[in-house]
Copies of this chain bind each other. A is one copy, B any other.
């Protein structure tokens, strides 16, 4: 069975060495007490729970999957008990307002918890994870009574929540949804329709499930402007069972431990949440945050795979190094001596650590946007968050899937066999590029809505940071890295301008460039963070440190990233410049 260790030192490196997390918290009154001691204590407890309780259930969840019997879902052995421990330890309430029973810790720490839990067992982590959308939506749009009734129990973890958006004929295109909400005499609504792909839609972990459902009122306008939100609890406040049942479970490629449900609403009782017909607007904040949660999934599977493949590469003896035996007393050399195995390991290492920097940086903008005290800083954080979220979601899940495959490849044929856990990791990782908006949808959000619709304002927020860094770090040791970064940073702006001008002539140019633009952006963003990490490591070594080797490894990984990963921008650049013509030239019947 595949063990995992929470990469605590690497997490601390990003938080404290790279981003000065203590200063970040001190600048926000609510979080002023969240010092390194608090964070480290949380990490220690999280590590114990994730390594000892959740990780051993990961393969179990994949093998057993969920069972539907008489409209009740049974989760895999041990899932329920693990959830009880999770609730008893108070984890669900970590980042919620104290007003509703939360502990009031920064949301960036919630992202860290998400990462920790997900590295150990992503499918399990989705049960508490899905509650966040419901909690967030209730906190922002619920009445006092609704928050008292539902939010407090969700915060406690006694109940979990879902978001019911998708229907068979509409995923991306929510304007087409058909679920109906008819007003009842008592002021509630009767909800009818079928929702699909509802993660954690039915299960035996908690005593109640609060569904937040998108539906149409009888007089609603067509399209996205006629969608309202409803609270539809599985068990109604008066204790009766509501008319929402799981019709079937999907048979999926992976995340078998999580129940993906078809939910039938047959005149279920629902309560309007927020304003009529404003449901989709209410969804936007939630969706952006859910996307950051999914971004982290890419990191989780990459970290899991990296740990497994690194251990295997040190252990597996096969062939001799081309330059002669490195393990002359053994029958062969460990495969970590082979440059190509190292290429696969370093790609994983560069991605996991680099995307951890991107994820934490982005999550810290959440804290500032929600709780900052300076308006300009809040605006900057909001812009950075808007800009970086689709990049993080799509880039991290695409690259995370690639890394999960590199891990498998390090195992040779053994990687294809269930026992090592790395094939499950590939299957589990694959969903992340699809749900919460596919890569293509993230790319349109980034290039269309976030960049071009703001005339490049959100992009400039980020490129300014890079520019500032490059100016401040043009020293001899880092020169190659910094120069390369500065060139990309300039090119990024020029490229955006180029696409923007073409898009004014033909809006299809946006769709033609979007995914390449997003991936390009991801590689440049990671280059920025790796350059910062190298600069920080250099500084630490110059100061004198007992962890010299640890910091040297950061510099070496940065050099690997710039030499072997960043050049991927060249193919994306060329593809974008080629324009929409080569995509639209083909007639449909010529495919």
Contacts and interface: CB of A to CB of B under 8 A. Distances in A.
A172 B332 CA distance: 11
Interface stretch (A20-28, A235-243, A375-383, A549-557): A549-557
A253 B339 contact: no
Contact of A570 (B553, B574, B584, B591): B574
B587 A549 contact: yes
Interface in A317-338: 317-319, 321-323, 331-332, 336, 338
A512 interface: yes
Interface string A559-591: 110011001101101110010101111111111
A69 interface: no
A582 B563 contact: yes
Nearest to A587: B549
Contact of A583 (B346, B427, B573): B346
Residue of A508, A568, A578, A582 with most chain B CB atoms under a 10 A cut-off: A582
Oligomeric state, in copies: 2
Contacts of A251: 417-419
A413 B590 contact: no
Interface string A454-481: 0000000000000000000000000000
Contact of A413 (B434, B557, B584): B434
A587 B553 CA distance: 8
Residue of A340, A510, A511, A567 with most chain B CB atoms under a 10 A cut-off: A340
Contacts of A532: none
Contact of A166 (B166, B413, B418, B443): B413
Contact of A590 (B549, B559, B578, B582): B549
Nearest to A414: B171
A427 B321 CA distance: 32
Interface in A391-426: 401, 405, 408-409, 412-419, 423, 426
A412 to B, nearest CB: 5
A453 B322 CA distance: 14
Interface string A278-315: 00000000000000000000000000000000100010
A71 interface: no
B508 A336 contact: no
Contacts of A433: 409
A440 interface: yes
Nearest to A444: B340
Interface string A335-349: 010111111011001
Contacts of A269: none
Contacts of A166: 413
A434 B415 contact: yes
Contacts of A310: 591
Given A418-B253, A571-B567, A340 B588 contact: no
A222 to B, nearest CB: 9
A250 interface: yes
A83 interface: no
A395 to B, nearest CB: 15
A263 interface: no
Contacts of A173: 317-319, 332
Contacts of A444: 340
Contacts of A408: 430, 434
Nearest to A424: B253
A171 B339 contact: no
A524 B116 CA distance: 43
Given A575-B563, A590-B549, A591-B345, A438 B412 contact: yes
Nearest to A333: B173
Given A514-B340, A563-B578, A574-B567, A417 B170 contact: no
Contacts of A418: 250-253
Given A319-B173, A443-B340, A549-B590, A582 B570 contact: no
Given A415-B434, A434-B416, A585 B559 contact: yes
Contact of A416 (B253, B339, B549): B253
A515 interface: yes
B417 A434 contact: no
B439 A590 contact: no
A413 B563 contact: no
Interface string A156-174: 0000000000100111110
Contacts of A16: none
A122 interface: no
A590 B556 contact: yes
A546 interface: no
Contact of A323 (B322, B419, B426, B507): B507
Contacts of A409: 433-434, 438-440
Contacts of A184: none
17 contacts: A166-B413, A251-B417, A252-B416, A252-B418, A253-B426, A254-B416, A322-B448, A322-B511, A323-B507, A339-B511, A339-B580, A340-B440, A346-B586, A409-B438, A557-B586, A564-B578, A567-B571
Q: A-B pairs with the 8 shortest C-beta distances?
A: A567-B574, A570-B570, A563-B578, A339-B511, A553-B590, A253-B423, A251-B418, A339-B512
Given A340-B443, A553-B587, 8 more contacts: A251-B419, A253-B427, A339-B580, A340-B515, A401-B405, A416-B431, A556-B586, A560-B582
